[in-house]
Structure 1
């Protein structure tokens, strides 16, 4: 159904009020999930807000740094709401990068957020190379295996250019787990060859699916494994089957200041020249070469101009329930 963006936002704000989100954090939380929706990342937009809002009241306090040495810092988020704790970690990473050339922040004991790209882009707009990643429970596996042993391990990175930052935001599974959750709620089929059952066979039945499939065969597995380590053992956080809950899930935020390596104005300029090269890449179908982040930005512009969101009836019902103070119905 088509719903005015302002109306959706008002319902989200009311849901935050009902769940005792601090007034100074409401806009940050609502805008984060609305951005995911307007980018077309529906599994990480309003539906994700409806799911995560049931935990907002579990926050215990503001994030605090519990250990730091050199470029590294570890943050105990104290079960803070995901977008709020991520904003905190990004700022710490940026501060350390300004002082030391790099900031590498590991965070644990936090609620989840939606898309990763806003945090990486925040760092890029400050002139840094920004990298953001997190793990999850062991919900993914590799082709040929039957046992899930990795988190879904998404990653986003961004660099400044002379225009908009160049931004990548991707899961290391073929489809995010949010797709599975929504398919179970709506009795929809899953994307082909994206999830496997208990025997390791591909399935499109959301009720038979047990694991998300890592992309790219053995090479994709290697990328996911690196993220697992960088969100886990690097900071002494649990990994794989050791991640037992939201509160033991690791998050990593990295800011790198190129000026410490001698690069000043040339960093965004060189990145912009690379983007120009990509813009000139020929394709077999004569369509423009797909540059990371541009499709999402175009979707935001289109939706914003229309002033409406196309939201499934079931998600809209859940959102209205949250705004009425019902954080249980699904």
Structure 2
């Protein structure tokens, strides 16, 4: 008997948002977010990321569709749904002269939670804010203010944490510290949803990635599966002598000249390799297309270079980054 899949922590069905004047910010979004995962939502400015988060958090009303958090409808059962959510906005507001301790404690009280100084202390220590607990917010650096935002969102012990551009304007060292905090939260069972312009942030942390453009969710995929299915590899061959053009005998490999003819670039999809454990490439039944893909293609390419008298002095490979994959997806949807 097949084991039933656990209910999603967040369930979004047919969600649409149209503002006055006829502008449609979201177009029939369907999305399930699993318990205890880090989900990264990527998209250009104006794609609908913040609108989607605002609706899930109960800050904006949807035009149609529904959203449930831990099984609670965000409209008909607002208080229960909202109690599960912590939201880290992009900026602090209206509390410049409060101390760190008072601001974080106040956020806990907003959700009707009883006083719990031990929990507040634990949150502040985990975010390296304990020594700043008596400081007024106006005196803190931008990075420390960002940590306070996270502390405020964690004050009422939420099961879901939304991070809207959590490390925008934060230096690299602090960014990595915050990534570690987010991983610890996930390890403790908190579901994390983040929007970010730093694609390396999604590549570093996310379990799954969603891409949104012009209000449409164009893709939701496991991060590693996405990079395997859409990522390409490049083999760059540094030549002993420059070439004016690719030799005719090598044109079937789709090579490109680079570095003023001092290099050849071979692009391939490593997922199409069909070699068995003994290194065979499928024998006579392999197609020509398969023959020039993957590792077997590299072996044939090197043999072809040798036959054509093209000397190679060095070579290296690189794989498409998540940023390149994202750019290609957005460009594909535009076309």
Bucket of the pairwise TM-score, normalised by the shorter protein: under 0.3
TM-score normalised according to structure 1 size? 0.24
Larger % of helix: which?
1
Higher relative contact order (CA 8 A, sep 6+): 1
Larger radius of gyration: 2
Larger % of strand: which?
2
